[in-house]
C-alpha cells in the first residue's frame, strides 16, 4: 500500500512521527513474522505543500521527501493534527484541502489525525460522513461543518474511504486501525505489543470537560449562570431560579439555551459533574459523600448520571485520574 504522510506548517510533529514510526514498525514486524525480507505492507513517503521543510508546533523542523504536486498515486493519505493552532492556520491550508479532494476523487483513502479533521472537512469530503476530532474543538467543528456527522465521543471513526481520530494520543488508535484494516489483525496486535500501546478502542468521554459558555450578550442569563455556580451544591428548583430573576420558567429556559446551548437543568448537572470529577481526582472522599457535597441526595441516581455522561463509573474514573498526595 502506497502511503503519503502530509507535513504542513504548524502541524503536530508527534502525529507525523507517529505515523512514520508505526508504519515502519508494521513493516519490520511483517518481515520478521513472515521471514520474507521483501515483505513491506506499507510504502511510506512524506510530502509538504511545496516540498520545503515545515516548522511544527514547538519549533521542530521537519523535512519532507517531496512536494504534494510530485506525489504519485497514493492508496492512503495521512493528514496530521495541528494541536491548538487549527483555527488560525485553516485558511492557509485550503490548497491542501483542494489536493485532498483530488486524491479522494482518484480513490485514495484519507486518514485525518486529531484537528487535521478540519482540513478534510474544509475539502467537503466529510459531508454526510461520520467523523471525530479533538473534543476541545468539537463545538467549533460542529458549527463550521454542520453537515458532518460528528461523533465527538469516539476516538476513531471509519466511514469507508474516510478515517479520523480524536486527540493527540488517539492517533495511535487510528494507526493501529489502519494496520489492522489494510495489513492484518495479527500484525496490528504485534505492533500493539511491541509499542506498548493498548489496541482496545477507547472513548474521549472521560477526558471531556463540560462547556460553560459566558461569551454571549444576555446579561440576565449571565447573572443566572454566576448564581448557579455559587449555589450548585444546594437544592435548586427551576421555578425558584425563575422567580429570583423575575423570569417565567419557559422564558428562562428559552433564553438560557439560546445563550449557552444548554438548559438551566443541564447546566446545573454539568456544574455538579465537573465538581464531582475534581473531587474524585483530588481527594479520597467516598462517592456517597461527594454526591452530597455537589448537591445530590440520591447517590444511586447520581452514580448512573455520572457513568452515562462521563463514560466511566466513579470508581474507574478515580483509578484513572486520582493524583496521589
Domain 219-321 matching CATH 2.60.120.10: the answer reads no
Q: 114-152 burial, b for 16+ CB within 10 Å, e for fewer?
A: bbbbbbbbbbebbeebbbbbbbbbbeebeeebeebebbb
Q: What is the pLDDT of residue 200?
A: 63
| Number of other CB atoms surrounding residue 63 within 10 Å | 11
**In degrees rounded to 5, what are phi and psi of residue 283?**
-135, 175
Confidence category of residue 325, pLDDT binned at 50, 70, 90: low
Confidence category of residue 190, pLDDT binned at 50, 70, 90: very high
Q: Does residue 295 contact residue 233 with C-beta atoms inside 8 Å?
A: yes
Q: How far apart are CA 106 and CA 74, in angstroms?
A: 9
Quote the percentage of the chain above a pLDDT of 90: 74
Q: What is the pLDDT of residue 167?
A: 77
130 SS3 class: strand
Query: Distances from the Cα of 113 to the Cαs of 12, 195, 267, in angstroms?
Result: 10, 19, 31
**In degrees rounded to 5, what are phi and psi of residue 296?**
-105, 150
Percent of the chain as helix, strand, coil, to the nearest 5: 55, 15, 35
Segment 83-88 mean pLDDT: 90
For helices 171-182 and 185-195, the axis angle rounded to 10 degrees is 150
Per residue in 126-170, pLDDT tens?
999 999 999 889 889 999 999 999 998 888 999 999 999 987 778
Q: What is the pLDDT of residue 33?
A: 86
Position with higher pLDDT, 153 vs 102: 102
Confidence category of residue 310, pLDDT binned at 50, 70, 90: confident
Residue 113 belongs to what H/E stretch? none
Q: How far apart are CA 309 and CA 312, in angstroms?
A: 8
Cα of 84 vs its chain's centroid, Å: 12
**2-207 against 219-321: fold identical:** no
Q: What is the pLDDT of residue 305?
A: 92
Domain edges within the chain: 2-207, 219-321
Per residue in 282-307, pLDDT tens?
888 899 999 999 999 888 999 999 99
Cα angle: 298, vertex 303, 306; to 5 degrees: 125
- Rg, the chain, Cα only: 23
Q: What is the pLDDT of residue 119?
A: 98
Segment 182-194 mean pLDDT: 91
Q: What is the pLDDT of residue 202?
A: 67
Please provide the average confidence, as pLDDT, over all residues in the chain.
Answer: 92
Query: Distances from the Cα of 187 to the Cαs of 15, 33, 116, 161, 170, in angstroms?
Result: 21, 9, 26, 21, 19
Q: CATH number of 2-207: 3.40.50.300, 3.40.50.880, 3.50.30.30, 3.30.2230.10? A: 3.40.50.880
Closest by CA position to 136, among listed 204, 229, 58, 201: 204
Report field, pTM of the whole predicted structure over 0.85: no
Amino acid at each position: 500500500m502506497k502511503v503519503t504522510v502530509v507535513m504542513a506548517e504548524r502541524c503536530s510533529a508527534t502525529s507525523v512521527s507517529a505515523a512514520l514510526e508505526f508504519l515502519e514498525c508494521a513493516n519490520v514486524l511483517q518481515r520478521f513474522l513472515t521471514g520474507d525480507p521483501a515483505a513491506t505492507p506499507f510504502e511510506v513517503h512524506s510530502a509538504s505543500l511545496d516540498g520545503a521543510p515545515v516548522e511544527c508546533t514547538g519549533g521542530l523542523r521537519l523535512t519532507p521527501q517531496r512536494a504534494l504536486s510530485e506525489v504519485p498515486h497514493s492508496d492512503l493519505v495521512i493528514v496530521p493534527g495541528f494541536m491548538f493552532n487549527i483555527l488560525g492556520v485553516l485558511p492557509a491550508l485550503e490548497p491542501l484541502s483542494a489536493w485532498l479532494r483530488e486524491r479522494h476523487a482518484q480513490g485514495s483513502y484519507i486518514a485525518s489525525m486529531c484537528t487535521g479533521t478540519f482540513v478534510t472537512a474544509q475539502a467537503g469530503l466529510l459531508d454526510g460522513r461520520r467523523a471525530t476530532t479533538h473534543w476541545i474543538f468539537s463545538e467549533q467543528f460542529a458549527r463550521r461543518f454542520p453537515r458532518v456527522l460528528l461523533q465527538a465521543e469516539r476516538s476513531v471513526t471509519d466511514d469507508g474511504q474516510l478515517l479520523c481520530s480524536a486527540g493527540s494520543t488517539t492517533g495511535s488508535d487510528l494507526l493501529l486501525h489502519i494496520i489492522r484494516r489494510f495489513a492484518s489483525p495479527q500484525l496490528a496486535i504485534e505492533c500493539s505489543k511491541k509499542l506498548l500501546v493498548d489496541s482496545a478502542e477507547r472513548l474521549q468521554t472521560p477526558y471531556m470537560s463540560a462547556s460553560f459558555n459566558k461569551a454571549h450578550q444576555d446579561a440576565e442569563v449571565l447573572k443566572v449562570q454566576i448564581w448557579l455556580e455559587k449555589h450548585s451544591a444546594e437544592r435548586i428548583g427551576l421555578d425558584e431560579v425563575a422567580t429570583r430573576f423575575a423570569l417565567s420558567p419557559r422564558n428562562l429556559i428559552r433564553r438560557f439555551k439560546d445563550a449557552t446551548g444548554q438548559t438551566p437543568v443541564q447546566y446545573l448537572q454539568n456544574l455538579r459533574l465537573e465538581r464531582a470529577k475534581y473531587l474524585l481526582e483530588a481527594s479520597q472522599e467516598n462517592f456517597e459523600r461527594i454526591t452530597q457535597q455537589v448537591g445530590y441526595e440520591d447517590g444511586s441516581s447520581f452514580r448512573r448520571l455520572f457513568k452515562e455522561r462521563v463514560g466511566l463509573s466513579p470508581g474507574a474514573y478515580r483509578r484513572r485520574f486520582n493524583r496521589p498526595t
